[in-house]
Amino acid sequence: MYKNFKKYIISGIIFTIVFGSLLHFFYDWSGKNVIVGLFSPINESVFEHLKLLYFPMLLWIVPGYFIYGKKNRNYFLSSFIGLVCGLILTPALFYLYTSYTKTSILPVDIGIFVISVVVSFALFAYIFLNYNFNFFSVKMGILLWELVFAMFIISYLLQ
């Protein structure tokens, strides 16, 4: 049905992992620029590190809409569901393993990030290809993405 969609998803996973990993350092590299802090972690909290998944995935999803989403109204909704599952999985796995180890382990943290990215894109692809939410408009899917964006902005401004 959607030619090259599998390649699109795999490329999105790679892009999100690479760009998300680089994004981790942007705030320090920018001299702690306020604008950069809106999009990259400003401290080592798990919540701030959710930006590493959200913003690279958003950058990948938006252009993909013009290739795949115009033919399927649930493009943004299915990508949002995948995103939210990844955003929930990240702290769940982190706090699960640190409750046993009593400390964070960098390779495990990186592994959790990779797992969350893969789960986000895999779930997005599965829902996009197998379900049709006709009752949701494209605007509703975009609004859900914007609500998460607003959450990051508000949390940054409150710090």
pLDDT tens string for the chain (159 positions)?
567 999 999 999 999 999 999 999 999 999 999 999 989 999 999 999 999 999 999 999 999 999 998 888 788 889 999 999 999 999 999 999 999 999 999 999 999 999 999 999 999 999 999 987 766 666 777 888 888 888 878 877 777
How far apart, in whole angstroms, are the C-alpha atoms of residue 138 and residue 70?
A: 9
Buried b vs exposed e over 25-58: b needs ≥16 C-beta within 10 Å? ebbeeeeeeeebbbbbbbeeebebbbbbbbbbbb
Domain boundaries, the chain: 5-157
Instruction: Say what the pTM is.
Output: 0.88
Write down the pLDDT at residue 136. Answer: 66
